[in-house]
Structure 1
Amino acid sequence: MKSPQLGFVLALWLKSAASIEGSGYSNATIDVDVAIIGGGSGGIHSAIQLKDAGARVLVLEKKDQIGGHAETYINKETGVVNNIGVSVFEDTDVVKRYFARLGVPTSSVSASPPSTLYDFELGIPIPPPDEGAQQAILAAAKAYSQNVLSKYGWLDQGYFLPDPVPEELYMPIGDLAAKYNFTALLPIMARFNWHFGNQTKVPALYGIKDFGPDFLRSTFGQLIVSGTGNTRSLYDAALKELGSSVLLSTTILAVNRHSTGVTLLVSQNGMVKTIRAKKLLVAIPPTLQSLKSFDLSRSERALFSRFSSLGYFTGVARVPGWNSRSLANVGAFTPFHQPLIPGSRAFRATGTPDEFYFGVGFPTDQVADEDGKAVVRRQLATLAEAGAIPAAAGDAVTFSASSFHMPFNVRVGAADIKKGFYAELLALQGSRNTYWTGAAWAGHNSALVWKFNEGTIVPAIKEDLGLEHQLPLSWNSHLHLTPWMLTTISGVKH
C-alpha cells in the first residue's frame, strides 16, 4: 500500500505530467521513442528489433539482471553451468536469427527422456515405454498433426481466434485428444510444458499453443540450446548491445498515458527519474498486481482481472551420494499419467555428482519458496523409502539455488475463451500509445513470443513511429495479420 505522502506526490506528478510533455524540462528526464517495461524474453527481443530499426529504446527492468526466467546456477567447485529456467528452444528460423544477431552460438540436442521413471508420490517404479507404446506415441503425433495442427497451426503466430471461437478450442485438451485419437501424446505434451495444468480441464487452446507445429517437430527431432551451455549468454550479449538503454533495479512508480505519448515516474537505486516516450511496450505479465502502478482503463482492468496463473519452483539441490541419478515423475494411476500437482517434474543430474536439478509445479501462484522446498523434501523421502535414491535424502537435501517463476502460464478459462476474450485483449494493442507482449499474449515459449514480436508488435510500433513508409503486413483491428493468417482464420470451419 502506498503511503499517504507518496500518494500525494504521485498525484501531483500525474497532474503535471501532461504539461511536462513538450515543455523542454530535462532535469532527471529521459526522452525515448519506446519505453519497454520488462527485460525478459519479450522485452529484450523487441528492444533489439526496434533498436535495429532506428528507434531510441529504454528497457526498465526491476531485477538486477535481464532475461526473465532465463536463470543459471554455476557450481563454484566444478564450474558446471545449470540452466534452472529456460534451457531449450524450438528449432526454428526465428530462434536461429536471434542467436545469430547477438553472436551467440547454438547447438542441437535430442529430446530424450530420463531412463528411470517413478511415481514420485507413491514411490512406484514405472517401466519405460516399450516398442508398442512408442509406436502409439508416434501414431498419436501423426493424428494430432493431421487433424488438429492442420486446422490450428496458425496459433503459433498469436491468439488470433476466429469469431465465433470453434468449440474445439475451449473444450478440454483431453476431450480433443479422444476425439482425434492423440491421447497417447498427452503425457509427452505435459512433460515438455511444465507445469501445463490438469489436462482433463485445461482448454485445448492452450494445449495446441504449447505444442504447436514447430514444437512438435522439434520434440521429435532436434531442439536448440545455447552453444555455450548457458542460456544467459543470449542476454549477456543483448545487455552488451543495448548498454545504457537498459535500466536495471528499476521500480515503476507511476504510468501516465496521454494523447501525445507516455510519461513514467521510476525509481532506480534511490534516484527518481521521469521517462518520456512516444510509445510504451509492456512486456511483463498483465496481472493487476504487476500493473498496480498503471493508469489502467476500465476495460484493461476488467480484462486483466480475469487472468489466473500457476506457480513453478525450480533450482538445484544437493544430496550426498546422489551419484548423477536422473529420474522423471510419471503418474501411475492419473489420467494420461500426468504427475500430481503440487509435484515435481523430474530430478535430473546436473553434471556435479551430488547435485540435481528440480522443477515443482503448483496450481496457484500464491505460494512461497518454502512450499516448493517442502514438496521436494517430501518426494525425496518417498523415493528414498522405495530405494530409488540414497536413504534419508529428504532430510539430507540442501538447496544450492532456487527460484520461483510466477506468475507462470497466465490464462483464462473456457467460458472466457468462448466469449471472445482474446479478441478483446488483442484490441488493446496500440490503444493509449501502448503495446503489449509476452507469454500471456503469445504463449509460454520464447520462440512464440519472438514470432509475435516480429509478426505483430514490432511492425506496428515501427509504423506508429514512422520508421516504415509502408506496412509489410495487413492491418486489421489494430493487429498486424499476415495474408496467410487472415486466409487461414477465415477458412476455419466451426
Structure 2
Amino acid sequence: MRFSQLVTALPLWFGSVNANQSWAGWAGLGDQTKWSTPCCSPNVVDVDIAIIGGGSGGIHAAIHLKDADASVSVIEKKDQIGGTQKHIPTLPPASSLTLVLSFLRTQTWSSGIPIPAPDDQQQAIRAAAQAYTKNVLSKYGWVDQGFLVPDPVPEELYLPFSQFAENYNFSALLPTIAQVDWYIGNLTTLPALYGIKSLGPGLLGSVFGEFILSSTGNSRSLYDAALKELGSSVLLNTTILNIDRHSNSTGVTLLVSQPGSAPKTIRARKLLVAIPPTLKNIWSFDLSKQEEAIFSKFSSLGYFAGVANVPGFNSTLTNMGALTPFNQPIIPGNHGFITTGSPNEFQIGGGFDSGDVTDEEGKDLVRKNLATLAAVGAVPADAAHSVTFPYTSNHMPYNVRVTAEDIKAGFYAKLLAPQGSRNTYWTGAAFSGHNSALVWNWNEGTIVPGLKKDLGLK
C-alpha cells in the first residue's frame, strides 16, 4: 500500500494512570476505570512491534512493517486512525502567488476580494524561490529526511529566520511561507532551522507546481484502506495504563485498556512511539534520565482545526496581515474560511503561540474573527452567533520545537542518539518536520530499516 503526499497535523496522545497491580472485575465507564477484587489476568498478546499512535507516522510504519511480515499492534487513543488530515490551505497552482488582502492590524477584515500581486512582485517571489533553492536547499540536502543537523551546528541555523532570509536574499518568499505552511510561528523570531524544515524541496516544488491529493478528494480514504489492511492489529479507544521497558530484556510490556473490555497485556519485541514526545504526553512512560532531559526541552504551538458552518455565507476568505511583517496574520488568528464545496461549510485553522489551547478557545477565536468580518459586511451580521462546528480537532501539542540556544547546544544530535535503545524507536513530526511526507521519509529512511534490522527481517 502506498501513501500519497499529504500534509498532516498529528493528533494528541497521552497515557493515563500508572497501574502495576492485579486486575479483575474491570469495567470502563467513559474516562473512569473501576477495579474490584483480583480474580484473573488480562488478555496477553505477543507481537513483534507495538506502535503507540495511529496517526500519520504510526500507520505508515505499521503498513511497511506488516509488508515485511512483522506482527504489529497499533495503540490509538481516539476512535479513528489518521488523526485529522490538515491540507495546506492554498490556491490552485496557476494563482498560488495571488495575494488576498483580508486582515488588518486593527483586526478589521476587508471584503475579501482577491487582489492580484503586481507582475514585479510575482517575479520577486519567483526569484526569491530560485535563490532559496540554489543557496539554501542545495546546502542542506538532508532537510526532507529528518533533523539531521550537522555537528557542530552552523550558526546560521539558529539565527532568526527573517535574518537568515535576508542573508540569502529570499525575503520576498516569506509571505508565501506564512500562508502556505500554517502555522509555523513568528517568522521574525523563529529559528532558521524550523523555517527551512517548513519549506523543503518537496513542498516548494508543490507550491510552484501541484500537490498530490487523493483521487476521491477524501484523504480519509487513505486511512480507511489502511485500517482495513491492518484489521484487528489496530486498537482504537485505547488507553495505556503502564509501560515496562526495564524487566524484559528481550522486549517491552504494555498494559492497555479499552471501554467495556478487560485490560490487555501487549508483549512486544520492539516499541515504536509515534506521538509528540512532550513530557505531558508521555508522563506515564518509564523514561530514563537521558530521555527525560531531552524531551523536557520541547515546547509547542497550538492549532485548532475543523469545519465551521456559517449560514448565509459561501465565499472563501484568506487571512493575510496587511501591515504585519511578511503579511502574517495576527496571532491568535485563523488562516481564513476556506470553502469545502458544501453549502455554508468552511475549513478553519486557528494558530496560537501557546500549545495549551482548549476547544472552546479555538471556537471563540472563530467567533471573534466572524464578528470582525460582520462589522465590515463581509459575512452575515449574525455569523458570530449562528456559526456551528460540525467537526473540530484540537492539535495540541502542535509543531513541537526547542529554543535557538538548545539548537546551538546540539539538541537534535541528542534527540536522535537514543533511537533503538531500550528496544524503543521514535517517529513523528518532532523527528522529521510537521508534514506527512517528511514523516514518511523519516520512517522509510531511518525507522523501518532500523526495526527490520533489529528484528532480522528482510
TM-score, scaled relative to structure 2: 0.87
**Corresponding residue of 2:450:** 460
Give the Cα–Cα distance (whole angstroms) in 1 for the partners of residues 199 and 346 of structure 2: 27
**Corresponding residue of 1:220:** 208
1:200-255 Cα shifts (integer Å, max 9, x gaps): 11111111111001110111001011111111100000000011111111111111
After superposition, the CA RMSD in angstroms is 2.3
**Corresponding residue of 1:139:** 127
Select the residue among 179, 189, 194 that pairs with 2:182: 194
1:50 aligns with 2:65: yes
1:88 Cα deviation from its structure 2 partner: 8.5
1:111 Cα deviation from its structure 2 partner: 7.3
1:364 Cα deviation from its structure 2 partner: 0.9
Alignment of 1:112-123 (within 5 A): 112-113=95-96, 116-119=100-103, 121-123=107-109
1:387-428 Cα shifts (integer Å, max 9, x gaps): 222223223322222211111101111000010000000001
1:150-208 Cα shifts (integer Å, max 9, x gaps): 10131111111111100111111111111111111111111111111000111111111
CA contact 1:315–1:359 (8 Å) conserved in 2: yes
CA contact 1:253–1:267 (8 Å) conserved in 2: yes
1:86-118 Cα shifts (integer Å, max 9, x gaps): 4689xxxxxxxxxxxxxxxxxx96374577430
The amino acid of 1:49's aligned partner reads H
The amino acid of 2:221's aligned partner reads S
Give the Cα–Cα distance (whole angstroms) in 2 for the partners of residues 347 and 112 of structure 1: 18
CA contact 1:158–1:442 (8 Å) conserved in 2: yes
CA contact 1:109–1:223 (8 Å) conserved in 2: no
1:364-402 Cα shifts (integer Å, max 9, x gaps): 121111111111111111112122222232233222222
- Greater strand content: 1
CA contact 2:298–2:401 (8 Å) conserved in 1: yes
1:303 aligns with 2:294: yes
Give the Cα–Cα distance (whole angstroms) in 2 for the partners of residues 254 and 222 of structure 1: 45
Give the Cα–Cα distance (whole angstroms) in 2 for the partners of residues 353 and 86 of structure 1: 19
1:68 Cα deviation from its structure 2 partner: 1.7
1:66-85 Cα shifts (integer Å, max 9, x gaps): 00222xxxxxxxxxxxxxx3
After superposing the two structures, state which structure 1 stretch, 383-392 or 274-283, moved more. 383-392
1:110 aligns with 2:93: yes
Give the Cα–Cα distance (whole angstroms) in 1 for the partners of residues 92 and 15 of structure 2: 49
Alignment of 1:347-362 (within 5 A): 347-362=337-352
TM-score, scaled relative to structure 1: 0.81
**Corresponding residue of 1:148:** 136
Give the Cα–Cα distance (whole angstroms) in 2 for the partners of residues 429 and 189 of structure 1: 31
Alignment of 1:30-429 (within 5 A): 30-70=45-85, 85-86=86-87, 110=93, 112-113=95-96, 116-119=100-103, 121-124=107-110, 127-258=115-246, 259-269=249-259, 270-322=261-313, 324-429=314-419
Give the Cα–Cα distance (whole angstroms) in 2 for the partners of residues 379 and 464 of structure 1: 52
Give the Cα–Cα distance (whole angstroms) in 2 for the partners of residues 253 and 26 of structure 1: 15
Aligned residues: 421
Distance change in 2, residues 1:87/1:238 (3 Å): farther
Give the Cα–Cα distance (whole angstroms) in 1 for the partners of residues 69 and 87 of structure 2: 29
Distance change in 2, residues 1:243/1:87 (3 Å): farther
Give the Cα–Cα distance (whole angstroms) in 2 for the partners of residues 195 and 229 of structure 1: 23
Give the Cα–Cα distance (whole angstroms) in 1 for the partners of residues 241 and 331 of structure 2: 36
CA contact 1:119–1:331 (8 Å) conserved in 2: yes
CA contact 1:69–1:86 (8 Å) conserved in 2: no
CA contact 2:399–2:429 (8 Å) conserved in 1: yes
CA contact 2:305–2:348 (8 Å) conserved in 1: yes
CA contact 2:74–2:235 (8 Å) conserved in 1: yes
1:279-326 Cα shifts (integer Å, max 9, x gaps): 00000110111112110001111111110111111122222220x201
CA contact 1:136–1:184 (8 Å) conserved in 2: yes
SS of structure 1 residue aligned to 2:441? helix
1:10 aligns with 2:20: yes
Give the Cα–Cα distance (whole angstroms) in 2 for the partners of residues 261 and 123 of structure 1: 56
The amino acid of 1:118's aligned partner reads S
Give the Cα–Cα distance (whole angstroms) in 2 for the partners of residues 346 and 332 of structure 1: 14
**Corresponding residue of 2:4:** none
SS of structure 2 residue aligned to 1:461? helix
Identity in percent:
62
